[in-house]
Structure 1
Amino acid sequence: MATTQLGENTVHTVGELPALGTKAPDFTLTNGDFADVSKTAGKRTILDIFPTIATGVCQAGVKAFAGLAPGLENTEIIAVSQDLPLAVANFCGAEGIDALVIGSAFRSGFGTDYGVTMADGKWRGLLARAVVVLDTDGTVLHTQLTPAIGVEPDYEAAVAVLQ
């Protein structure tokens, strides 16, 4: 179990992020067309995990990763939240963002498998803000659970492991 802050309150997650150097759990998420999404074989993957696209910090994170995507060779970025896929698709459409894959975890055990579901607090059941970077074979190269839900992740650190 890990901890982060939501406002002034400490929030626990249901587990820990996958360990560096291990094979990440397989996952199936849902895209904006309600089709299944999983890691693309042979591509590196950044999982941008956040609670809900309805907050400014989550929106800023999606925009930041979308801005980085064109400079990352053989890398997909999947925006993962518990939001319905239409919510994230509508946000990305309105912002002209097409460089990310939408990956709603509303139908899956992703949050439990990756240890990021908030177990308590007023947002329990939503995903804590985190980043997981996977190599082409699914090996975990980088993880970060932000110290607070309202803090953006370290984008430079996430991208640096891919250079």
Structure 2
Amino acid sequence: MATTKLKGNEVKLAGNEVNVGDVAPVVHVVGKDLEDIQIGGQKGCAQIVVAVPSLDTDVCAAETRKFNEEAAKIENAEVIVVSMDLPFAMKRFCTTEGIENLKVGSDFRNKDFANAYGVLIAEGPLAGLTARAIFIIDVNGVIVYKQIVPEITEEPNYDEVLEAARAATSTSCCGTCQ
């Protein structure tokens, strides 16, 4: 079972742990306008999936603003921030913060994303929320990058994520590989 930390205390993560090289599970989350957002699968572009506990925290808000600004500049990529926040709260956050370059998706209904990607916090005060994590899925639907942030209260390694995202979008398949 994977773990992370919350204020220095280890917390277990539940769900199916996925790793680099695995086919990304196809799941659906609810967008801010109640639309369906698919994560995983072959979408014709790379996906940068950013899991956060809640947009209503300083660290999650800062991370979302940063990805709105930086990762959204990467061509042939779709950036999706996933949390357990209700779609209405996500919409209000995006409007207030001027978030227009990425999608936000809520996993509140069935926790399908958190369980399929192994980032459901299983214990402690944040049990039931998503851990802070990033997955990059290439155009073929394969996970090419994974970062479970070691301390939930800290931001991810942006440089590493953005470099991996650029690498994932700069390669294209000739159509002969499986």
When normalised by structure 2's length, the TM-score is: 0.87
Query: Alpha-carbon deviations, 1:113-155, whole Å to 9, x = none?
Result: 1000000001100000000001012110100111111111112
2:23 is aligned with 1:29: no
Instruction: Give the alignment of 1:71-110 within 5 angstroms.
Output: 71-108=73-110, 109-110=112-113
Runs of 4 or more above 4 Å deviation: none
- How far off its partner does 1:17 sit? 4.1
- How far off its partner does 1:74 sit? 0.6
Residue equivalent to 1:44: 46
Could you list the runs of 5+ residues in structure 2 that have no partner in the other structure? Answer: 168-178
Residue equivalent to 2:145: 142
Q: In 2, are the aligned partners of 1:2 and 1:15 still within 8 Å (CA)?
A: no
Greater C-alpha Rg: 2
Q: In 2, are the aligned partners of 1:18 and 1:115 still within 8 Å (CA)?
A: yes
Larger deviation: 6-15 or 122-131? Answer: 6-15
When normalised by structure 1's length, the TM-score is: 0.94
- How far off its partner does 1:6 sit? 1.1
Equivalent residue of 2:159, what SS?
helix
- How far off its partner does 1:70 sit? 3.9
Please give the alpha-carbon distance, in whole angstroms, between the structure 2 residues aligned to 1:47 and 1:12. 21
Please give the alpha-carbon distance, in whole angstroms, between the structure 2 residues aligned to 1:148 and 1:70. 25
Residue equivalent to 1:66: 68
Please give the alpha-carbon distance, in whole angstroms, between the structure 2 residues aligned to 1:8 and 1:22. 30
2:4 is aligned with 1:4: yes
Q: In 1, are the aligned partners of 2:55 and 2:90 still within 8 Å (CA)?
A: yes
Residues 30 and 135 of structure 1: is their aligned pair in 2 closer, same or farther, counting only changes over 3 Å? Answer: same
How many pairs were matched up? 163
Please give the alpha-carbon distance, in whole angstroms, between the structure 2 residues aligned to 1:19 and 1:30. 24
One-letter code aligned to 1:43: C
Please give the alpha-carbon distance, in whole angstroms, between the structure 1 residues aligned to 2:114 and 2:22. 17
Residue equivalent to 1:132: 135
- How far off its partner does 1:9 sit? 2.1
Residue equivalent to 2:155: 152
Please give the alpha-carbon distance, in whole angstroms, between the structure 1 residues aligned to 2:149 and 2:107. 19
RMSD across aligned C-alpha pairs, in angstroms?
Answer: 1.4
Equivalent residue of 1:122, what SS?
coil
Please give the alpha-carbon distance, in whole angstroms, between the structure 2 residues aligned to 1:29 and 1:56. 23
- Once the two structures are aligned, what percentage of the paired residues are identical? 37
Residues 70 and 113 of structure 1: is their aligned pair in 2 closer, same or farther, counting only changes over 3 Å? Answer: closer
